[in-house]
Amino acid sequence: MNLRRPHHSENHGRDRDNYGAGARSHKWHDAESAFNAWRECSRGRPCDYSGLSYDTLDRASGIQWPCTADSPNGTERLYTSGVFNTAADFCELYGHDLVTGAEISPQQYRARDPKGRAVIKPADYVPPPEEPDAAYPFWLTTGRLVYHWHSRTKTGRVPALQEAAPVAVAEINHDDAKRLGVGEGELVRVRSRRGMVEVRARLTDIAPGHVFIPFHYGRARFGHGEHPAAVEPTAANELTLTDWDPVSKQPQFKFAAVCIEKA
C-alpha cells in the first residue's frame, strides 16, 4: 500500500491538533495501521468510529457512525436525543452565508452558538440569472435518460442501452410542437445566448413552455454509427449558463432560456 507520507520523520502519522492527542503519536506502515490511525482521529468527534476494528470492515458492511464502545454495531438513527452536533466547540464546520457564499467566521458562530440546537438558515429569494423572454421563450432543463449514465462512455457501448436511446433528443410539449410546426422525430435547432444544438424532437407531456434535453450526448457521436467520431451539435451544455451556486459550487445546468425552431 502506497501512502503519502510527510518527509520529516517527526511528522510521521501526525494529524491536526484538534483531532485529539491520540492521533499525534500514531504511526502507520500498512493499510490496517493507517486505518487505526484514522480511527483514532475520529475518537470523540461527531463521526466517531473508535468502536470499529479493521476486521469488522471486512466482515460487515454498512456500519453507520458513530460506532463506539457504547454502540459497537453503529448507530442507525442519529439525533434521537434532539441534540445536534452544532455546539461551537464540537462542530466541524461553521457554515456559509447562503446568498454570498462567505464562510461564517468562528467569532460570528460563537456569538450565536446553537449549543446543540438545529440550525435553520433563511435566505432571500434569488431570481435565476436568466428567465424566458420574447427572444428565448422556453425554459431549458437538462438531465439524464434512464438508459444512459453521464457521457455514455460505458452505457453507449451496451447495445441494448445504446439502441434504446441512440441519439440526442429534445422533449417538447405536444401543443408547443404544434405551434412550432414540429413533428415527432424531426430535427430541431435549440438556441440559447451561448450556443445551439440540433437534436430530434420527442413530443411528450412535458409542461408547456419547457424543453428537456439529456446531457449524455456530447459533440462526438460514437458507437454504432458509420462515422464513429463524427462531430454533431448535440451537447446540451453548449446551451447552459456558466454559473454556480456560491456555497455548493453546483453548476447552473438545470435552467436556461432557449428558443426552438425547425432545423
Q: What is the rounded CA–CA span in Å between residue 256 and residue 263?
A: 20
b/e for 113-140, b at 16 or more Cβ within 10 A? eeeeeeeeeeeeeeeeebebeeebebbb
Minimum separation from the CB atom of position 116 to other proteins (A) = 16
Query: Is 18 near other proteins (CB under 8 A)?
Result: yes
| Region for 249 from its dihedrals, namely left if φ exceeds 0, alpha if ψ lies in -120 to 50, beta otherwise | left
Cβ neighbours of 171 (radius 10 Å): 19
Nearer to other proteins, 48 or 171 (CB): 48
- Quick one: 54 or 244, whose CB is closer to other proteins? 244
**Range in contact with other proteins (rule: CB under 8 A) among 68-76, 147-155, 162-170, 238-246:** 238-246
Q: How far is the CB of 213 from other proteins (least distance, A)?
A: 22
- Beta strands 196-204 and 169-173: pairing type? parallel
For other proteins, the closer of residues 73 and 250 by Cβ is 250
User: Which x/- pattern, by CB under 8 A, does the window 91-110 give for other proteins?
Assistant: xxxx--x-xxxxx-xx----
Residues of the shown chain interacting with other proteins in the complex, contacts defined by CB under 8 A: 16-18, 91-94, 97, 99-103, 105-106, 126, 129, 242-244, 246
